């Protein structure tokens, strides 16, 4: 008698998927030498899912998408460009990657880590804006550190 193949499909709800992809993307950024912060308010009133600072002072924003529906109904990510040197989407392994625009970076992540599948097109910040954002980033990180 042949053994029946056992198939287990793990289905995450959107909050669980978002949490896992966010965690994996942040871990990847740390591995790459970046210092990430989650849920960072921007001067235009938007909130970046992940903002990270490189050792050279470059600012990266990562927009986490929990699935196709989340990607299709949320276009606010276009307003993040003026506040970073590079913009990435972070998605789970099952996401249809061909939907991500070619100038955006692409990270595939799960709860344990991630990988960069495509680098973002660099868009260097003006020096004054970089300084203002870096100071705000540092202050936010310090205030959060005090709360823990």
Residue spans per domain, the chain: 14-147
**Whether this model's pTM surpasses 0.85:** yes
| Residues in CB range of 103: below 8 A, 6 or more apart | 120, 121
Residue/partner pairs of 140-145 with CB below 8 Å, 24 or more apart: 140/37, 140/40, 141/35, 141/37, 144/37
- Rounded to an integer, the average pLDDT of 96-104 is 95
Q: How far apart are CA 74 and CA 79, in angstroms?
A: 11
Residue located via tokens 């109904």: 73
Could you read off the pLDDT of 34-74 as tens digits, one per residue? 999 999 999 999 999 999 999 999 999 999 999 998 999 88
């Amino acid at each position: 008698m042949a053994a029946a193949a056992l198939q287990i499909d793990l289905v995450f709800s959107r909050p669980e998927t978002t949490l896992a992809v966010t965690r994996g993307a942040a871990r990847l950024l740390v591995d790459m030498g970046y210092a990430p912060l989650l849920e960072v308010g921007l001067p235009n009133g938007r909130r970046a899912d992940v903002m990270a600072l490189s050792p050279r002072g470059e600012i990266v924003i990562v927009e986490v998408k929990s699935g196709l529906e989340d990607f299709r109904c949320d276009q606010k990510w276009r307003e993040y460009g003026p506040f970073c040197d590079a913009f990435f989407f972070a998605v789970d392994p099952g996401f249809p990657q061909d939907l991500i625009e070619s100038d955006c970076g692409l990270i595939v992540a799960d709860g344990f880590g991630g990988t960069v599948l495509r680098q973002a097109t660099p868009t260097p910040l003006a020096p004054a804006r970089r300084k203002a954002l870096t100071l705000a980033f540092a202050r936010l990180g310090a205030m959060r550190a005090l709360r823990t």
